[in-house]
Amino acid sequence: MTDFANLMESFGRNTEKMIIPNQAKRKAMTAAGATVLAEALKKETRKRHYQAGRKIGKVKHLVDSITFENKDVDGVDNGNSVAGFTGKDESGINHGRIARFLNDGTKYITGDSFVDNTRRASVAAVFEAERKIYEEGGNNGTSNNSGK
């Protein structure tokens, strides 16, 4: 029985090495997915919440504040990417907070769930963009080559 357990453990470790890409490949994959999500958010935000001709001074419009970073939420470079609305530090106004109010609603605003619905509708497109990067060149990125 011990031999079977060792065999299964060895199989699991080797399979993990074959399937899970290295950090550079993960970073490229999640960047591609985040780009697709950011574009979908821009399109939906423009469709639902853009007011043409509105004078907003120096402050960016909500649709122009959508961005993605090729780092995790806390700025950690671990292969993850995030997409969303800029905060107060980037544009002087917390667009993420405004988007949340429009998405979720408030006592005075009926939410329309445009962010939630866009995320759900974009799952297949995000996955496809990530898959293309994963399969690019026939190498899944699991080699120990750090530069490629």
Q: Name the domain count of the chain.
A: 1
**Does 144 have pLDDT greater than 50?**
no
Task: Report yes or no on 7 lying in a domain.
Answer: no
Helix (H) or strand (E) holding 69: strand 66-69
For the entire predicted model, the pTM comes to: 0.77
Least confident of 14-18, 34-38, 46-50, 127-131: 14-18
- Cα–Cα distance, 19 to 8 (Å, whole number): 16
pLDDT in tens, 5-19: 888 888 777 776 667
Task: Report yes or no on 72 lying in a domain.
Answer: yes
Instruction: Find the domain containing 92 and state its range.
Output: 20-137
Place of tokens 């530090």: 89
Range among 4-18, 43-57, 133-147 rated most confident: 43-57
Task: Report yes or no on 142 lying in a domain.
Answer: no
What is the overall mean pLDDT for the chain? Answer: 84
